[in-house]
């Protein structure tokens, strides 16, 4: 899975656009996917803090982790 496929899946599953960012950054209270050098990073952004940060070697692993986190959080849906 890549970011484009993840984006399509999240839209199909009716996940709020403001519940996540697939381009890094520090949105308020959002699940985030970021590419840093040769690693992929997944974290929850809250008040510019990166909670639960995990690093992955591949985009696919990171996308799957982010998808699982979002699916397990019912507050991300409309």
Asked whether residue 78 is assigned to any structural domain, the reply reads no
In angstroms, rounded to a whole number, what is the distance separating the alpha carbons of residues 23 and 20? 9
Asked whether residue 14 is assigned to any structural domain, the reply reads yes
- Residue of 41, 45, 46 lying closest to 58 (CA atoms): 41
Whole-number pLDDT of residue 75: 96
In angstroms, rounded to a whole number, what is the distance separating the alpha carbons of residues 9 and 51? 24
Whole-number pLDDT of residue 48: 87
Q: What domain count does the chain have? A: 1
- Extended strands (E) in 1-78: 20-21, 30-36, 39-46, 49-56
Asked whether residue 19 is assigned to any structural domain, the reply reads yes
pLDDT tens-place string over residues 7-62: 999 999 999 999 999 999 999 999 999 999 999 999 999 988 999 999 999 999 99
| Confidence (pTM) | 0.94
Q: Going by DSSP bridges, is the β-strand pair 30-36/20-21 parallel, antiparallel, or unpaired?
A: parallel
Whole-number pLDDT of residue 38: 94
> Domain span at residue 52?
3-72
């Amino acid at each position: 899975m890549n970011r484009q496929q993840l984006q399509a899946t999240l839209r199909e599953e009716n996940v709020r656009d403001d519940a996540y960012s697939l381009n890094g950054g520090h949105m308020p209270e959002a699940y985030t996917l970021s590419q840093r050098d040769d690693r992929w990073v997944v974290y929850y952004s809250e008040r510019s803090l990166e909670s639960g940060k995990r690093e992955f070697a591949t985009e696919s692993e990171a996308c799957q982790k982010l998808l699982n986190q979002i699916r397990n959080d019912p507050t991300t849906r409309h």
